[in-house]
Amino acid sequence: MRNLQNRLIECYVFVDDYLQAHSDLKAWRRSNNDNPYFTDAEVLTIDLMQGYFQTDTLKRTYQLVAKNAPEAFPKQPGYKQWIRRLNKLTDLVGRLARAAALKAAATNLRRLYVVDSFPIPLCEPIRHGRARLLSEDGAYFGRSAKGWFFGFQIHALIHQPTGVVLTAMLLPGNWDDRRAVRALALSTGGGVLLGDQGYSGEETFDWLYDEAQTLRVMPSDEDKEGLSTVSQVRQRIESSFSGLWRRFTDRVYSRSWRGLWTSLLLKILDFNMERAGIIATA
């Protein structure tokens, strides 16, 4: 139980310190409850326990925290109120994930990045003919190395060699990778970007170089050594990506785009905090 207390403290201190340093983020509260008894830092600390308990859902995480650490949150609200509060903090979760990534990247200033995508299927292939979940929010059919899927794709920019996710986007499954890479590259401040064939094309190369001061590297088939290097880096990234998504679950429980994106951002935040040494390795 002491380990649970330590994890709660580690998460709370990181989130609360960030909020104290960025007081402008509290400006979203425009109501009579501008200073609630149960703070935003406490809301996020509970959901970050999903990594500690290795649970499938945030609801189960909430229940386990309430059961195992009731003294830590004496003013803990009911689950429905808590989840409503959490879904209003999506932007803050993204900022925290970025802050944790920059903390890790500060230990190695090499401007070397990998861009890659990972499918988020919303159902099993056998149900593709009846797939409707989140279709109004952009879910669509796409194709990955493992075949067709219905859902979204995470497009991510990963810093090397720290492995943290600097920037991520959740887009429909059928979007061209080259549309996502432009937005991702703008967050680098320049450098070298490793990518696969999905990011090929002279127009993309020129745009990245001119607009984002980023040099995209994609070795040719003749460059065996270069291909081997990129392949090794991408293999590590794909392994991290798979672990990132499956560290808690490989099934989507969310019934809204915001809920899904918040859930994924929380996984990325937990992943980056661990890589940055903010929380102890599970």
Q: Does 235 lie in the same domain as 210?
A: yes
Instruction: Quote the pLDDT of residue 238.
Output: 61
- Examine residue 256 and state whether it is found in any structural domain, yes or no: no
Neighbours of 12 (CB within 10 A): 19
| Measured distance CA(96)–CA(104) in Å, rounded | 12
Domain boundary among 64, 88, 112: 88
- Of 280, 216, 245, 272, nearest in space to 119 by CA: 245
Is pLDDT larger for residue 25 or for residue 171?
A: 171
3-state helix, strand, coil in the chain (%, to 5): 55, 15, 30
Q: Are 263 and 251 in contact (CB under 8 A)?
A: no
Q: How many domains does the chain have?
A: 2
- Examine residue 260 and state whether it is found in any structural domain, yes or no: no
Q: Token pair for residue 5?
A: 């207390």
Q: Are 103 and 172 in contact (CB under 8 A)?
A: no
Instruction: Quote the pLDDT of residue 65.
Output: 95
Q: Does 148 lie in the same domain as 42?
A: no
Q: Does 212 lie in the same domain as 130?
A: yes
Q: Does 157 lie in the same domain as 60?
A: no
pLDDT tens sequence across 1-25:
559 999 999 999 999 999 999 887 7
**Mean pLDDT of all residues in the chain?**
81
Q: Does 52 lie in the same domain as 110?
A: no
Instruction: Quote the pLDDT of residue 175.
Output: 85
Domain that holds residue 121: 103-248
Domain boundary among 26, 59, 88: 88
Instruction: Quote the pLDDT of residue 26.
Output: 67
Q: Does 220 lie in the same domain as 107?
A: yes
Instruction: Quote the pLDDT of residue 100.
Output: 95
Q: Does 244 lie in the same domain as 109?
A: yes
Q: Does 156 lie in the same domain as 51?
A: no
| Measured distance CA(166)–CA(103) in Å, rounded | 10
- Examine residue 119 and state whether it is found in any structural domain, yes or no: yes
pTM of the model: 0.83
Q: Does 215 lie in the same domain as 137?
A: yes
* Whether pLDDT at 27 is above 80: no
Return the residue matching tokens 């609801």: 59
| β-strands 147-160, 112-121 pairing | antiparallel
